[in-house]
Every structure is written in C-alpha cells, then in structure tokens.
Amino acid sequence: MIELTNPIALADFYAVLFDDEKIKLSGSTSDKINQSHNFLRDFAKDKIIYGVNTGFGPMAQYRIAEADQIQLQYNLIRSHAAGMGDVMPPCYAKSILLARLHTLSLGFSGVHPSVVELMKEMLNRDILPVIFQHGGVGASGDLVQLAHLALNMIGEGNVIYRGTQVPASQAFANERLQPMQVRIREGLALLNGTSAMTGIGIVNVIYGKRLLDWSIACSALMNELVSAYDDHLSEILNAAKRHDGQRQVAARMREIIADSKLIRKRPEHLYDRKVEETIFKDKLQEYYSIRCVPQILGPIWDAIQHSTITLIEEVNSANDNPIIDVASASVYHGGNFHGDYIAFEMDTLRIAIAKLTMLMERQLNYLLNSSLNGILPSFVNLGKLGLNFGMQGAQFTATSTTAENQTLAAPIYTHSIPNNKDNQDIVSMGANAAWLTKRVIDNAYEVLAIQLLTLVQAVESLGCEERLSSKSKHIYTDIRSIVPIFKEDMVLSPYLTAIRDHVKAND
C-alpha cells in the first residue's frame, strides 16, 4: 500500500495503475484538507466567493441565497454531465480519479475530508468513473469529464465495477459505501480543474516511454540485420552533438548490440587494410532510418521527458478556482484551471510519437523492399515468390496507420473556440489533445507489431539467430513464442493483435 505524499511521482501512478497498488492518506494530509474546509466555511459567511454564493461562469453576477447554495452544487454536477463519445478505458479513468484526488488533497480547494476519503475508497475498490471522450475544452478545466466523476460520487450515473458498467448506487451498496453529501463549493471543486487531461496524459507518457524503448530495440536489431558499421552509434560522435536525448538513445543502442557478431567495426574493414576497390559493393553509410536513429529518436526522448515533468508538476498543483489559502487567510480568484500547459505538451508528445511511427514504417519498408536492402526476399517472403505474399498485406496496414498518425499530429492547442457566452474566450482544448495523443500512441503500437513480426521473419530468412546480440535474441524468442515461423500464407490479424498487446504490456 502506498501512502500518498506531496509531491506525488510518476512511479506512484505506475504502481496504482499497472501494479494495482492500494493507497492511503497520511494524517497530515487529512488535517490539511480539514483546515481548508473549515476556513472556507467560516470565511464565506459574510463575503462574496465565486461558486459558493454566486452562480458560475457568465452567471457569476447572480447571488445565490444561502438556502440554495447546496442545490447549486448538485445542479452544476448534473447539468455538466453531458459527455459523449467513447467511454475512457479503466486505466485512464483510474488515472483521472487519482489525479483529481491528489489535487484536492493539497488543501487549496476547501472540500470536506470525506470527499477525498470516498475517492480513495473508489480507487482501492476499483469503482471507476464512466467518463466520456468528448466534452472538455480545457479552459475552466475539464468540466464535462470531471462532472461525470462527480456524478458517480453522489451515487448517480454508471461506474465501471468488476469489469462492467453498473449504476454507481449499486456498486456503492455492494461495497457498503455512502455517496458523497455535497457541502460548500464541492461540486465546483470536483469539476473545476485539469485532472482529466492530466490523468490521460500520465498514461500517455507511460505508454510513450515503453514504445520508445521498443523502437530503440527494433532499431538496434535493424542495424544487426544489415551488418551496419558501429561508428554512427559511437559515444564520441554522439557526444559531439549537445542533446541529451541523442546521447541516451545511442548509449541504449550500444548496450543492446554490445555482444553482437553481426555489427561491423569500420577500422577493421576500411581503415586498417588497403582498400583496392573503386566501386564498393557494400554501403559505406546506411540509409538514414538505420544510421540516424539517435538523431531521430533523441528529440522524442527529450519530448517524453519534458512532458513527464510538466504532467507531474500539474498533478501536484492546485488547478481549480478559486484557491483557498489557509496560510494567508484569504481566497484568491484566478485561472489555475486553464489547461494550456498540458495541451501544449500533449501536442508535442503527439507529434513526437507520430514521427516515431514514421521511423518504424520506413524501417519496415526497408526490410520489405528487396531493391533497397539487397539481402532479403521481397516482403520477407519465406514461401514461394509469386505464390506466397509474406508480409505484403501487413504493410498496407502499417502504411495507412502511419498516415492516420501524420494527420492526427496536427496541433489542437492553436484551435481555440470561444464558448460559454464568450466568458471562456480562449481555451486550451487540453482534453482533446490528450485523447488524440492516446489514439496516436495506440496506432503506433500497431505499426510496432508489424515491424516486430517482419524483423523476426527477416532473422529466419538470413539464418542469423545465433549471431544476434543476446538482447536482440531475447526479442526474437519473445515474439516467436507468440507467432510461429510461417512460409505459407495465413491470417495475420490475430497474431499482430497478440504482439501489440504483449509489447504494450511489457517493457
């Protein structure tokens, strides 16, 4: 069990989302939440506080009578539970729930401790909110998506419980939990923030990191298959360019190929002997998709690192409005709910993953095109040329999926549309940016699956299994445990799906 502390780390999210760790709240966290709630309750008695005794957004000019203030919160939750589109998978819903829990636990939101306690119980008992893809413009926060979380907390709507959608009231009854009894401003505190885009984004960077690791491994194996020279991965060459990502990728690839019997050393072949040829049969330098991997994947490494930092900063921030500060004994109105930080990072990450997909597709094309590689049969066909097709059909899927990623890579951060009677006159579209990035990552894993199957078929064609590095050989045997060697044509979709699911679940 993890005791949530401030700041929460990416490793904590990973443990809860992928290792099913349970969480608990520290005594100091509960005290901080309680102090914030008590302060706001007393402070708001004779003052005008947005969302406590006023309407919301452009209707903030209307004062709300004390007798209606609790109903106001229920009205906000129910009216904004208007999402549509796909339901977010459990992992993403759980990440959103954890992100909102942690933000509220910082003690800047004025909620009662029972709110965070219920969220903790929902997490630990896998009662997950049904949240829809469409709804957030990411300016006054992820209002619509988080309204569905709040709706579940008051015992309404559907939740994901034991793998199926059931009424929230039924799941609570099964677990002997009481729905939240809304107190001062708690509807607004739950809705008004960036936790949906941040929760989705955190899952995105986890899967993005894993995808990058697989692409580095595939690129190393590509170098082995073509018996590339090793100097384009050398520490000296890559240190001459001052980018951390490039150096990290090159170092990873050197580590993978360290015991390979296929990689060539340039001095042995071209420097330490007299070269007589005037026309060289072998390439002096490989195609860019093989030789320039550190320079191509390096920026992607850096982008993932920066996105991770920004997401963790956001989830450790008070991102609603107003901010209740016990230390200065005041309430501050502003715009911490605005999602531009996350929207910008999700656009950047999406562009990076789209480029990674393009690299995988070009490496795949190199393997499938015998005119380019000069060492493999067309489409890495291990059967009878003309009669059998090898990986020809799968290439169409990889190409079309890569093209879709290229289209989806267009930034949405710049697509602000004013709404809410122009109160929200410039918005982030952060939830859309995060969701589109999820789609691009999912697509990239499909292209990766096709590349991996092609790579292991190429190993068979070249008969070089025993000369591979130990790490590349492990990948070969790993994929071969899912898909047998095939010469005759067969339906590939089930095998490709199995490879995709396997690599997405494993580093």
Helix ranges, 181-292 (H):
186-191, 195-225, 235-239, 244-257, 266, 288-291
Residue 139 is given by DSSP the state S
Non-local (6+) Cβ contacts of 67 within 8 A are: none
User: Residue with structure tokens 């995988």?
Assistant: 360
Using DSSP, state whether 134 is helix, strand or coil. Answer: strand
**Are the beta carbons of 417 and 427 closer than 8 angstroms?**
yes
- Taking alpha carbons only, the member of 206, 13, 21, 15 closest to residue 126 is 21
Q: What angle, rounded to 10 degrees, do the helices at 10-18 and 293-315 form?
A: 90
Containing 148, the helix (H) or strand (E) segment is helix 143-153
The token duo for 335 is 């715009």
For residues 417 and 492, what is the distance between their CA atoms, to the nearest angstrom? 43
Told to judge if 50 belongs to the known catalytic residues of this protein, a careful annotator would answer: yes
Spatial separation of the C-alpha atoms in residues 470 and 485, rounded to whole Å: 20
Three-state SS for 62-80 is CECCHHHHHHHHHHHHHHH
The dihedral sign for the CA sequence 202, 207, 210, 216: negative
10, 52, 150, 302 from 311: Cα distances, Å? 9, 29, 22, 14
Give the active site residue among 14, 50, 74, 287.
Answer: 50
- Give the catalytic positions in this structure: 50
